[in-house]
Amino acid sequence: MTLTTATAPEAAADGDDLRVWPASTARLPHGGLAVGGVPLTEIAERFDTPAYVLDEAEVRARCRAYRQAFPDAEVLYAAKAFLSRAMVRWIDEEGLGLDVCSAGELELAVTAGFPPERTVLHGNAKSPRDLATALRLGVGRIVIDSPSEIARIAAAVGPSGRQQVMVRVVPGVSAGGHEKIRTGTDDQKFGLSLQDGSAQHAVTRVLRQPQLELTGLHCHIGSQITDTAPYTAAVRRMVGLMARIRDTHGHTLPELDLGGGHGIAYRPGEPALDLPALARAVRTELSRSCAAARLPEPRLLVEPGRAVAGPAGVAVYRVLAVKQTGDRVFVAVDGGMSDNPRPALYGVRYAPRLVGRTPGAPPRTTTVVGRHCEAGDILAADVPLPGDIRPGDLLAVPVAGAYQLSMASGYNLVGRPPVVAVHEGTARLLVRRETLEDLRSRDIGA
């Protein structure tokens, strides 16, 4: 479906900061914005609201940036951030592998044509269906997250089979933007502890299983990390464990997966992880640590998800109501925590913007809320929006491509929004809007 190509943008107004928007974002006359050459107002008119807009060129550019920063590493896109058949195709064409966490993600990828041998299956509690699907489709590696998985996977492989696996290690490095997304220490559910010996014990058990081929170690220390120091600390500890495995078992592991968690900016001025700096720091530390341990350098794997999809997405909402309660101004939109639970879960802060008309009043402090029956249904607290904002206006929220639709729910039976891809002045529907009929069809009770 072709939409109108954006005209030349207006000059930027003071404070009109588009740094966290997709690179293709252009200003239009009368307060409009276009992404990928498509005006956001036309997206709203044609596809209704709320809607997610995904810039294909931005996704591809970010994939290429990772390939350039880590030319000798295996870059795996973390499907949990956002997955669709089109996303699978873009990732494949850009030469990335895929990190999946369920049979559902794996099945979607493989049925969309993605090579299963370039996938890695994660999960702290893999179901029998997850493992059966992974083995049936020929997943590249399975990351072992608990001792019980070792025997389960070996039994499922069978006496004549062989499956490549990695062991997820908790290296004792605390990093991440919120306590609920810090996964590198022993006080959370993922992985096997380096400190108490659980990781070493698991490695020993895996090496005794002829059906399992241990290709390397895995760690993931958290999410929304904006500093390179936690990654270099993790490299040192993981290389130390690899050296002990070599000394104890005579087995040199060829791979080291450092996970993802690369932080991005959601609002102008916020810090983001410097990708080239990360690559240099990790490469330097890996060389130094391996030389000190007299180990050959393992091949690196990295797993960006948010850093690829997040900045490529924009959420578009329509204002339903405006009211003042005490000293606070509330702007209610036609979406909310059913399509973006992250503010309620992690206190994430966004920078919504009026699009489609020129404001007629100076900004005032406003709280953008959703339509759901929860006091915590807040999309953006205490943000500047024009003082004349009114029902019918459009608000656009950048950095909406990751962990929004993938975490969406059916709360209040509102239905999940569509995803519209934009590229070079055209728009096409990737994921259709969830309808009332979709919701009704699942309810089969009388």
Sheet containing 38-39: order of strands = 26-27, 33-35, 38-39
End-to-end CA distance of the chain: give it in Å, rounded: 41
Spatial separation of the C-alpha atoms in residues 101 and 109, rounded to whole Å: 12
Going 313 to 319 to 324 to 325, the CA torsion angle's sign is negative
Q: Quick check: is 373 catalytic?
A: yes
Token pair for 291? 């030389």
Distances in whole angstroms, Cα of residue 176 to Cα of each of 99, 183, 199, 243, 279: 20, 8, 22, 27, 18
Given 63, 219, 290, 373, the catalytic residue: 373
- Tokens 């997943």 sit at which residue? 139
Spatial separation of the C-alpha atoms in residues 371 and 417, rounded to whole Å: 14
Going 79 to 109 to 206 to 149, the CA torsion angle's sign is positive
- As beta bridge partners, residue 214 has 165
Active-site residues, by number, are 373
